[in-house]
Amino acid sequence: MHRTVPSLPLAPSVKVKLINAGFQVASDLIDMRPLQLCKEAGISQEEAVEVLQMLRDDAQPHQQRAATESVTALDLLHQEQSLGSIVTFCSGLDNVLGGGVPVGKTTEICGAPGVGKTQLCMQLAVDVQIPVCFGGLGGKALYVDTEGSFLVQRVADMAKAAVQHCTLLAEDTEQKQALEELTVEKILSNLFLVRCHDYVELLAEVYLLPDFLSEHPEVRLIVIDSIAFPFRHDFEDLSQRTRLLNGLAQQLIQLATQHSLAVVLTNQMTTRVSNGQSKLVPALGESWGHAATQRLILHWEGLRRLASLYKSPSQMEATIQYQITVQGFRDATDEPRHASPSENYSKRPRMEDLS
């Protein structure tokens, strides 16, 4: 109870009057009666009652503890490491991301049409379900589809390939037992789909996410494919769009940290002309670039498909090559299925044409 009067959550005018009356510390006020305080400080009776009420609430121990609770950086590091990440089955990309798509953060995937954003999202929705004994998270996934490009036939292909991959890797009894339950049907039954036809439905869906997550606490991944599509047409007021997008980003990062899940958003590319030269940049504007924790840009270079980690708080910027096969999102080698990580990625500081 050594809080000084200026630090109390009161209106400034009230604080000034209290200080002028000689009250410096909260403990000076605690034994006063409202009428006394009213006369001595020259504040109205209502204000006096409010001040004393606030002090009484403040004195309760659990609220005080909450105000001063802090965590050490070592605790945070352990927490982060225990959260895990979702593998992409492309070992090059997993290495670049530091293990996979991180849980507790938002990752944005940008790319031109057809480069593989939806494929990567579907792959993650399958991979999040890999049992813990195989190095996965054993969680469920929610896929929010705004473009209508979620075709379940393709997800079934990827699920089958994932089961086959795990079958090849299964060694000990625990893994073999987990494998018995891991069927294509089980994977499909743990993948939830919601379709939003415009931005209002998308906003509604995000408001309903906390309820959905409390009903399905095993969900470890939320994919929004794509967040750009509903926001890029019929928006005359761009400042409202920025405001709504920022609000969405804040809600999503809050959900990611509170419920320990990974949020993956896909974005489109648009052309920007500067100094007579045009280049492809992620859509939704400059301020949206700050929204996600990590940004991955998928692009073509001739016949090759490359993924560049463009923004990350913990990983170095790097570019790797990947391919899309019948089994899904994979490394760009001839062998589609292999257990050892491939060495075919190059670390380049900043790609010139993306700066």
Partner 1 sequence: MEWEQFELNPRIIAAVKRAHFRSAKEILCVSGPDLQRLTRLSKTDVLRLHCAVAAAVRKTSPVTALQLIRGECPVLEPGHRLSFACPVLDGLMRGGLPLRGITELAGESAAGKTQFCLQLCLSVQYPEENGGLNSGAVYICTEDSFPIKRLLQLITQQSRLRPDLPPALIHSRRLTDSVYIEHAADLEALQACVSQRVPVLLKRGLVRLVVVDSVAALFRSEFQADEAVQRSRHLLAFSSTLHRLSHAYGAPVVCVNQVTDVMDGPNPGRCDYGLVGSKVLPALGIAWANQVMVRLMLTRLAGQVKSDSRSCASRKLEVVFAPHLPRASCLCGVWEEGVRGIPDDALHDE
Give the footprint of partner 1 on this chain (CB under 8 A): 112-115, 118-119, 142, 147-156, 185, 187-195, 197, 200-201, 203-205, 207-208, 211-212, 228-229, 232-234, 240, 243-244, 247, 268-271, 273, 277-280, 300-303, 305, 323-326, 353
Between residues 103 and 298, which has the closer beta carbon with respect to partner 1? 298
Alpha-carbon span 340 to 226, nearest angstrom: 32
Smallest distance from partner 1 to CB 244, Å: 6
DSSP for 26-78 reads: HHHHTT--HHHHHHHHT--HHHHHHHHHHHHHHTSHHHHHHHH----HHHHHH
Q: How many helices (H) and strands (E) does the chain have?
A: 13, 14
Between residues 162 and 170, which has the closer beta carbon with respect to partner 1? 162
Smallest distance from partner 1 to CB 143, Å: 8
As a residue count, the chain comes to: 355
Helix (H, G, I), strand (E, B), or coil: what is residue 352?
helix
- Torsion over CA: 72, 78, 84, 85 (sign): positive
What is the phi-psi region of residue 58: left when phi exceeds 0, alpha when psi lies from -120 to 50, beta otherwise?
alpha
Smallest distance from partner 1 to CB 34, Å: 25
Between residues 257 and 270, which has the closer beta carbon with respect to partner 1? 270
Helix (H, G, I), strand (E, B), or coil: what is residue 267?
strand
Between residues 302 and 313, which has the closer beta carbon with respect to partner 1? 302
Residue 70 phi, psi (nearest 5) = -140, 160
Between residues 171 and 211, which has the closer beta carbon with respect to partner 1? 211
Smallest distance from partner 1 to CB 82, Å: 28
Alpha-carbon span 349 to 258, nearest angstrom: 33
Between residues 131 and 300, which has the closer beta carbon with respect to partner 1? 300
Smallest distance from partner 1 to CB 279, Å: 5
The closest of 120, 115, 103, 82 to 260, measured between CA atoms, is 103
Angle at 352 (CA atoms; ends 346, 355), nearest 5 degrees: 115
Between residues 154 and 311, which has the closer beta carbon with respect to partner 1? 154
Smallest distance from partner 1 to CB 214, Å: 12
Smallest distance from partner 1 to CB 294, Å: 22
